[in-house]
Amino acid sequence: MSKVTIFDHPLIQHKLSILRDENTSTKEFRELISEIAMLMCYEATRNLPLEEVKIKTPLTEMTAKKIAGRKLAFVPILRAGCGMLDAMLTMVPSAKVGHIGLYRDEITHKPVEYYNKLPGDVEERDVFVLDPMLATGGSAVDAIQIIKRSKPRSIKFLCIIAAPEGIDVLSKAHPDVEIYCAAKDDHLNENCYIVPGLGDAGDRIYGTVICLSLSILLIGVLLCACSDKGSTTSTENGALTEVKDDNGNLTGYERRYTNDNGDITRWDVYDADQTYLYYVLYEYDDQDRLQTETRYKAEGFAEYRYVYTYDDKGNLSEKAYELPHGEAQVYRYNADGEEIERLYYDTEEKLIKREVLEKENGSHTIRLNLPRNNFKDKAAAI
């Protein structure tokens, strides 16, 4: 299990009490987050190794101590983690910065990744992951898993408030990661908010919250509306409906969400036991044309996505099938909507194969299969 350090310093606890107060302004909340993070950084870096160096004061030479060549990186989980970043950099200005973009799906409460940018030399650095709240632990677990792919020297997780459930999940998933927090609260409520907590840290840092209690109420109403089990035939937006095969046998369940134009924006899929399998998100451009179609596992990891490109007349010209590690396939179409070309890319986005399709007797036939060395073009969609 992970080592968990809960700070009991009077200054931290004093500032934390003001931070929790619902009457604390956005400006003051942001300042308090920064001040608490600075005090936490002071404690979390206590065990950094030192080495002796020779220096000269205005009076004499002496042996002093400096941090022994440890390179640090601070990685906030967007967006709330950025509220802690400036304070950490004030303490360690030489540290490099990465960012992990995750948001919590309000229906599943699972983290969804949308951004990942780490320092190029992260394998040489001790990484501090920053997020004010450790609630379910899902975002922290996934962010750290992403960082571990780059093999850093060590990882520590800093949060201001943690729920017991989040600590337990993170400790079991990453027992080698030390956890530092200013407070361990009581529990998570039915909407996965920390109690007593402080509300949504990101909203309070950036002033985007209108009415937290109303927000929680609306989420609760949506969850209740979507939690009915058993057969439903309602076609209401987001209603749980049965999926049956041609023989009328139940094969699973689904939820579909649509926008004001009737276009599907999200599709949730369950098996016959109502176990959550995956979901798909759809995005449209200003002309109501499908732009992207991204499928996520139930745990929140992206499996693949389709990116659609259109010509000046609005006809589909390219469809790119992209995988998380960089592999991609691009399908090109003519003005009649017929597939005419396929391009294949490896994890480094290098073209490795091109197939040209020609129509013969009503069906497509692959006429060319060229390796990357014989073809220099690259799909615009990649």
Q: What's the distance, CA 3 to chain centroid?
A: 24
Amino acid making up residue 278? Y
- Catalytic residue check, 235: no
pLDDT at 308: 93
In 10 A of CB 103, how many CB atoms?
Answer: 16
> What does pLDDT average to over the chain?
81
Which is catalytic among the residues 142, 200, 204, 305? 200
Residue 289: what pLDDT? 92
Residue 232 has pLDDT above 50, yes or no: no
- Give 112's contacts (C-beta < 8 A, 6+ positions apart): 102, 103, 104, 105, 296, 300, 302
354 is catalytic: no
Put simply, whether the predicted model's pTM sits higher than 0.85 gets the answer no
* pLDDT confidence band for 290 (50 / 70 / 90): very high
Confidence of residue 170 (pLDDT cuts 50, 70, 90): very high
136 close to 143: Cβ distance less than 8 angstroms: no
Left, alpha or beta for 57 (phi > 0: left; psi -120 to 50: alpha)?
beta
Q: Exactly one of 104, 125, 332, 342 is catalytic; which is it? A: 104
Which pair of structure tokens corresponds to residue 108? 């599943």
Q: Is 273 marked active-site? A: no
Q: Kindly state the tokens that stand for 119.
A: 């320092």
Cβ-Cβ contacts under 8 Å for 155 (sequence gap 6 or more): 126, 127, 128, 129, 144, 147, 148, 174, 176, 177
Question: Which of these ranges, 66-70, 150-154, 221-225, has the smallest mean pLDDT?
Answer: 221-225
Of 348 and 181, more confident: 181
Cβ contact 65:55 at 8 Å:
no
Q: What is the pLDDT of residue 168?
A: 92
Q: How many CB atoms lie within 10 A of CB 200?
A: 19
* AA identity, residue 265: T
3-state secondary structure of 364: strand
Q: Pick the catalytic residue from 86, 105, 203, 346.
A: 203
pLDDT for the residue numbered 226? 37
pLDDT at 347: 74
CB neighbours (10 Å) of residue 272?
Answer: 12
Band of residue 362 on the pLDDT scale cut at 50, 70, 90? low
Comparing CA positions, the residue from 359, 373, 298 lying closest to residue 111 is 298
Residue 194 burial (CB < 10 Å; 0-12/13-18/19+)?
buried
Sign of CA dihedral 169, 105, 200, 116: positive
Q: What does the pLDDT read at residue 301?
A: 64
Residue 381: predicted pLDDT: 30
Rounded to whole angstroms, the Cα distance separating 94 from 313 reads 52
Q: What is the DSSP letter of 57?
A: -
Q: What confidence category does residue 300 fall into, taking pLDDT thresholds of 50, 70 and 90?
A: low
Query: Residues, the chain, total?
Result: 382
The pLDDT, as a whole number, for residue 361 is 59
The kind and range of the H/E element at 233 are: none
Q: Is 108 a catalytic residue?
A: yes
Average pLDDT, integer, range 97-112:
70
Asked whether residue 244 carries a pLDDT value surpassing 60, the answer given is yes
Region 185-200 average pLDDT: 87
Q: Is the dihedral of CA 16, 20, 21, 24 positive or negative?
A: positive
Residue 163 banded pLDDT, cuts 50, 70, 90: very high
Give residue for tokens 């999926």: 243
Q: Is the pLDDT of residue 76 over 90?
A: yes
The pLDDT value recorded for residue 303 is: 79
Active-site choice (45, 108, 241, 258): 108
pLDDT band for position 205 (cuts 50, 70, 90):
confident
